[in-house]
Amino acid sequence: MATMDTIDAAILRILQQNGRIANAELAEKVGLSASACSRRVDILEKSGVISGYHARLSHKALDYRIMVIVHISLSGQFAKTLTEFEAAVKLCPNVLVCYLMSGEYDYILRVAAKDLEDYERIHRDWLSALPHVVKINSSFSLREIIDRPNVGV
C-alpha cells in the first residue's frame, strides 16, 4: 500500500479491537460513509495490510497453561536442511510460532503445553523427532506480561 492516512490508521485500530464490527458502525466511528469505509477496508485487505481475520483464543481457557520458548540448533544451515526442518515443524500442532534466527540458535519456537507431562510428550514425540536437530534448549514462561497480536498503528 502506497500511503496510509489517519483514517486508514483509525480503521486498523478499530478492526484490531473488534474484527467483527459492522461496516456501518466502523464507518461512523471513522467519519466516513459506509461505502467509502468499505472501499478503504477492501483496499487494506487487497494490499495485504489486513492479512486476515480470526478469533483470538485463550490458551488458559483451553487448558494450555504452560508456554515454552524452545531454542533449536540444527546440524547445518544448508537449504535442504532448513526446508526439511521447516516442513516438519509446521506439522506440530503445539508450535504456535517458529522463527529462523541469526545468532547462537537456528530456530526459536513458542510451544503451548497443558502441563509438564504434556510438554515431555511434545518434546519426545515432536521436537526430538524433527529432522537435523542436534540441540534443544527449553525455557518455561513463568508469567505472560504482554502478547500483542499486532504492532501499533
pLDDT digit string, tens, across residues 86-110: 999 999 999 999 999 999 999 999 9
Q: Whole-angstrom Cα distance, residue 34 to residue 136?
A: 52
When pLDDT is averaged across residues 44-71 and rounded to a whole number, the result is: 95
What local confidence, expressed as pLDDT, does residue 148 receive? 84
Q: Is the pLDDT of residue 20 over 80?
A: yes
CA gyration radius, the chain: 20
Q: Whole-angstrom Cα distance, residue 88 to residue 108?
A: 15
Could you tell me which residue, 33 or 1, shows the higher pLDDT?
Answer: 33
φ, ψ of residue 136 in degrees (nearest 5)? -130, 130
Q: Whole-angstrom Cα distance, residue 127 to residue 21?
A: 39
Domains of the chain and any CATH numbers: 6-46 (1.10.10.10), 66-140 (3.30.70.920)
Q: Look up the pTM and report it.
A: 0.84
What local confidence, expressed as pLDDT, does residue 1 receive? 58
When pLDDT is averaged across residues 27-41 and rounded to a whole number, the result is: 98
> Residue 149's pLDDT band (boundaries 50, 70, 90)?
confident
